[in-house]
Structure 1
């Protein structure tokens, strides 16, 4: 064993800070090849290799020659146990500065990192919660001792804790649409804190619970400063997809518009019906909005979409200049791009949709399993 070396864990939060701070990290991922190919930890200065756990049971010599000596090494597996074993064997073989991922890739999938987007004109601020391991983005608007959360993920304790730190009571939980790639925590959060849960009614035909109808032009006030959240009906990803203009500064686009891509219309099996809606939203409705609005989507597809501060944002006018999905003047070309090369479906997406409708209530561990893997809500994500 390397002198002074001992087995150490690294939390998902610590990994997130390494990624966001663009520090070097080398990862030995010991999951099976298929899981690694499907989804892994990525970062600007993160490098990784995959050697399945069962190939290392008889010794880690095969890994030693592939691990750089100058960087920290993180061993990752699905739940934790395999990575602890391999990390310990690497240390015994003389390799120092080795860690295992606490909680495994499940913990990575669930970590949320809050980033301040900006101040509101009458006081308060808007925050983005970056779920690095899943590509999900959610938001909290805080003003005058009140808060609204948009596109809440199921990890509701994070929002409750953050709101408490800001001295705010969560009054509204809002979903831009019925999600299919992750389990919404909006209704759960509303029940926990006594808030109102908002959902577009055109996405709610099959839901089995009560909700407040989020319709075009609806305004939701937050705090004494009366920060306005204005609903903008923007169908295409789903028939009910609704965007928000917040404080005349920010445009929360849900899964309709991303920084490098556009939303896919096929997760409810209605691509043919919804492609025209998608085009109308992107090529008509959004063009009527001010170009200076800061676009804040509900997902990102690539780690390169994160800015220097770790946030995902872009000016609406800039997206019209460079986003491929917004630069297809020929309608037939647009239709082909959306339909002919769709990305792989999200894992368990039909089961996730049913959960978000309230039709099924999977146990917590099953919910974690359903969400494992990358988001696949965009047309151009690979």
Structure 2
């Protein structure tokens, strides 16, 4: 009988660079749209129990005792292909439980070093999609806030539990376009405040929230979290300054790029949105002290699963000083910046209009399967496909 492995076990195999072959049995179009970088495609029809792709080119390269792992969208066809491989005489075959849907929710929980020993910052890295969420906590008070919570609420809650922290606040940086937020629901479940920046009301959300005015501060025990209005990606985009040493920038500024603006600002407003972004970057974020850590809301990866200027499982951040000098877009003057924002933009996030409607409370997905379908694929919230960090 074919053994199953979890996405966590698959992650560990990839990180250790184990010697195994990963077969992705989805159709070629789905594979090309989004995949794990190490996977090779051999299509297998789960409905017809039929080998569709060309396995012969791999058969002669594999020994009977070589380790093989199979994956598909949900686990069904990959499991059947694994059984096929066993019937063909391969002795060491495993299949990924839940397939790419489960892989989409695989996380790394990474501590971020802080100057204040009381401050806990955990970066929750959704490695298959490039989403970053955060836990901000006080060891002495035993309290924490969660920022940009996704559907994987258990990951966020488990992180708080592991550090012995009670969640007392939940925050979102903005109305997300690439993934479904669980911030409001989690706050309700826990009976704690749910915050957005008050300027998010410009999006007319049909969701109740405790709005934070620009420069308003809330606390987690003795730790201050200051709302910094950073419009550009959206009108309501709000970053959070933690204890004056780390800025959670949402989709305004990334380690390797900056946030795109045309998902909300379109048509005649497109260039005005880019000017707002320029103003935010140069006159709010880049005026902060050089040693302030920039903790972004996303990192970039390609459709074929390659990570751009980051390594999952390691801290993903830059300092204001390093980003100011190293980010080539930030060294453009305003007019060049505005023009650059609309040259060679990446494709828009899949289903982004429906995802936005869901997070605004205007649309409710039918079930978990639809939520997974809406979120499949990497985020595309950056203004560039490639890194814009200058080579040393």
With the length of structure 1 as denominator, give the TM-score of the two structures.
Answer: 0.90
30-39 or 255-264, which deviates more: 30-39
Contact 2:20 2:67 (C-alpha < 8 Å) held by counterparts: yes
1:313 aligns with 2:351: no
Distance 1:151 1:267 in 2: 19
Summarize the alignment of residues 54-73 of structure 1 with structure 2, pairs less than 5 Å apart: 54=45, 56-57=51-52, 60-65=55-60, 72-73=67-68
Q: Unmatched 5+ residue regions in structure 2? A: 302-306, 387-392
1:61-113 Cα distance to aligned partner (Å, 9 max, x none): 34424668897432111010111111222233233433211101000011222
| Paired residues for 1:87-106 under 5 Å | 87-106=82-101
Partner of 1:328: 332
Distance 1:22 1:130, change over 3 A: farther
Q: 1:191 is matched with which residue: 165, 185, 188?
A: 188
Give the conservation status (yes or no) of the 8 Å contact 1:120–1:126: no
Report the CA distance between 1:7 and its aligned residue: 1.7
Secondary structure, counterpart of 2:286 in structure 1? helix
Answer whether contact 2:34 2:378 (CA < 8 A) is retained. Answer: yes
Query: Which residue in 2 is equivalent to 1:276?
Result: 275
Query: Cα offset for 1:183?
Result: 0.6
1:173 to 165, 170, 173: 170
2:136–2:145: 8 Å Cα contact kept in structure 1?
yes
Give the superposition deviation at 1:269: 4.1
State how many pairs are aligned.
Answer: 370
Note closer, same or farther for the CA distance 1:39–1:256 as it changes in structure 2 (3 Å cut): same
Q: 1:120: Cα distance to partner? A: 5.9
Aligned: 1:7 with 2:2: yes
Per-residue deviation at 1:132?
A: 0.8
Q: Secondary structure at the match of 1:264?
A: coil
1:245 aligns with 2:241: yes
1:16-35, aligned counterparts within 5 Å? Answer: 16-23=11-18, 25-35=20-30
Equivalent residue number for residue 146 of structure 2: 149
Gaps of 5+ in 1: 1-5
After superposition, the CA RMSD in angstroms is: 2.3
Verify the 8 A CA contact 1:25 1:72 in the aligned structure 2: yes
Give the Cα separation in 1 of the matches to 2:192 and 2:21: 43
1:52 aligns with 2:49: no
Which deviates further from its counterpart, 59-68 or 311-320?
59-68
**What is the aligned partner in structure 2 of residue 138 from structure 1?**
133
Change (3 A) 1:53 1:324: farther
1:380 aligns with 2:384: yes
- Alpha-carbon offset, residue 119 of structure 1: 4.2
**Higher deviation after alignment, 154-163 or 19-28:** 19-28
Stretch of structure 1 that moved more, 13-22 or 71-80: 13-22
For residue 284 of structure 1, report the CA deviation from its aligned partner. 2.3
1:134, distance to aligned residue in structure 2 (A): 1.1
Deviations, residues 4-31 of structure 1 (Å, cap 9, x unaligned)? xx52222111122334445555321111
**Counterparts of 1:20 and 1:295 in 2: how far apart (Å)?**
25
Question: Using a 3 Å threshold, how does the CA distance of structure 1 residues 228 and 92 change in structure 2: closer, same or farther?
Answer: same
Q: Name the structure 1 match of 2:32.
A: 37
Instruction: Pick the aligned partner of 1:210 from 194, 208, 212.
Output: 208
